[in-house]
Structure formats: C-alpha cells, structure tokens
Amino acid sequence: MEYLKEILISKKEEIKKIGKNSSLIKSELEKTGRYKRSFLNNISSGKVNVIAEIKRASPSRGIINDQLDLRETVLAYDRFKNFICGISVLTESLYFKGSPEDIKVVRENSDLPVLRKDFIFSDKQIYESAALGVDCILLIGTLLGKRKLKKLYHLAVSLGLEVLVEIHSLEDLDKVLDTGARFIGVNNRNLRDMSVDSNIIYKFLDYSQKNDIRDRVFVCESGIEGMGYIKNLFSRGINTFLIGSYFMASRDLKNTLKSMELELREKKLI
C-alpha cells in the first residue's frame, strides 16, 4: 500500500507542472483534431487478442528490463498483428520507470493503437495524454470515487479517447458500469498487497453472464499463467489479454512472440 501513497505524491507534483499548459493543450486539440486508432475496432471476435505492454519495472517485481530497447520492442510487437491488437505503455516513473516520452517512440514505430497506463487522477493528465497522441487511457476504478471516475471518463471520451477502466472487485464493476464504459480491464492483482489470484476474473464472468453485460469487452490483466489459462478463458468469452512482464523479461522477444504465435495457431486461438 505504501507504493500507492508515494505514487500519488509523485503524481501531484507532475500535475502541477502540466497545469499551466492544459488550456493550451485543450485549444490545440479542439482546433486541429487528430487521427484516432481504436482498440475496440481492432479487437477481433473469434480469436485471442493480446495487448502487449512496455514496462521496465513494477512494484511487485522491481526492475524487469533495465536494458530495454524501446524502438526494437515496438517493432517486434508490430510484426505480430495477427494476435497483438495494441500496445500498452507504462508512463509512471517512480515504480515503473516509464515516461510520457515513451509514447512518442511507440507512435513513430507502430500504427497499432496505444494505451497509456498510468495513475490518472486529474483532467490535466487526460489533456496531456490526448496531446501525446495516445488512443486510449487507463482509469483505475478502485482508486477513484464514483463521481470522479464518471467525470474523467466522459472528459476523455469528449477528447476522442477510448478508456480502459480497470476493476478489482464486483463493487468496482457496479461503479464502472454506471459510467457507460464498454472497455473493462479485470486485474487479478490486488493493488494493496500486490498478490495475484488468477481466479478473480471468473467471478466477473459469472456476474456478467447473469446480468447480461456481455456487450462489454473484458480484458484479463495479471496472473496469465499460460496457454491453458488463455484457452479456458477464451472458451468462456474472454478474448483479450494484457501481457507485460512475460514479454519484458524475455531475453529474445522475437522468439518469444514467434513461440506464442505458434502455440495460438496450434490451439486454433488465432
């Protein structure tokens, strides 16, 4: 839990720095507009879709890859569009060692949709995200009150951004559904103690089938334990998976991606 407090303090300082530019960012966006790429349109039914992540470190694992060649990683992801539907970029600097500047490198080297994953609490961060050229932002339902979540969600949508709203409990889900969100990430990781329970997503599946919210796109995050787990969830209606550490820890990313592609083909998941 301590890391969340430290990140919040860090984010408040970052928000102060971008505050003076938010009105300029807003006017530029309204004046020029920009080409948008859609995760929802790029996620194909009838096959597994992977959102491939870029992160150098995490609170649970520490440094994952401090020798990351960002451009080469993006180019590798871009070669496997038959199952990679987009790229997620961790821009939080304190624990994930990311930077908003990473977005620029990704945009320059791939035409896949780009998700900015960060701890977003302010409208200024959303204007900044849009100006950086992302297509989608992450909002963490667990960390935002109902009113704040709804406000930030609708601001992002008004700027032409998609929103992946992350949940960790059924209580979160009720709050998120009230925003009208269609793109929902189910994180198997507990944000407070960083433990992972790969069965958490099954609770949401049971709930969604009973309450007829199958029109939403659910993304499985964290605790993805192998192709058997992916295949089982796919058979239950989950076709999108966000994978980060597995790729980032690979010493030969191209070979790792080729092996995953082969396994997905063998199991008729792509």
Sketch the domain layout of the chain as residue ranges: 2-20+46-266
CA 141 to chain centre: 13
Annotated catalytic residue 166? yes
* Residues 161-172: tens digit of each pLDDT: 999 999 998 888
Q: What pairs with residue 54 in β-bridges? A: 89
Q: Residues 14, 92, 128, 221: which is the catalytic one?
A: 221
List CB contacts of 167: < 8 A, sequence separation 6 or more: 141, 142, 173, 176, 184, 185, 186, 187, 204
SS3 letters across 37-80: CCHHHHCCCCCCEEEEEECCEECCCEECCCCCCHHHHHHHHHCC
Q: Is 53 a catalytic residue?
A: yes
Catalytic residue among 11, 49, 53, 58: 53
Distance from C-alpha of 151 to C-alpha of 170, rounded to nearest angstrom: 21
Topology, domain 2-20+46-266: TIM Barrel (3.20.20)
pLDDT tens track for 84-114: 999 999 999 988 999 999 999 999 999 999 9
pTM of the complete model:
0.92
pLDDT in tens, 171-195: 888 889 989 999 999 999 888 778 8
Catalytic residue among 14, 92, 110, 117: 117
Sort strands 217-221 and 183-187 into parallel, antiparallel or unpaired.
Answer: parallel
Instruction: Give catalytic status of residue 187 as yes or no.
Output: yes
Is residue 225 part of the annotated active site? The answer reads: no
Burial tier of 15 (Cβ tally within 10 Å: 0-12, 13-18, 19+): middle
Query: DSSP character for 29?
Result: H
Per-residue model confidence (pLDDT) at position 19? 61
Catalytic residue among 110, 187, 188, 208: 187
Q: Which of 11, 22, 49, 55 is catalytic?
A: 55
Is there a catalytic annotation at residue 199? no
| Cβ(221)–Cβ(186) below 8 Å | yes
Residue 154 makes CB contacts below 8 A (sequence gap 6+) with: 179
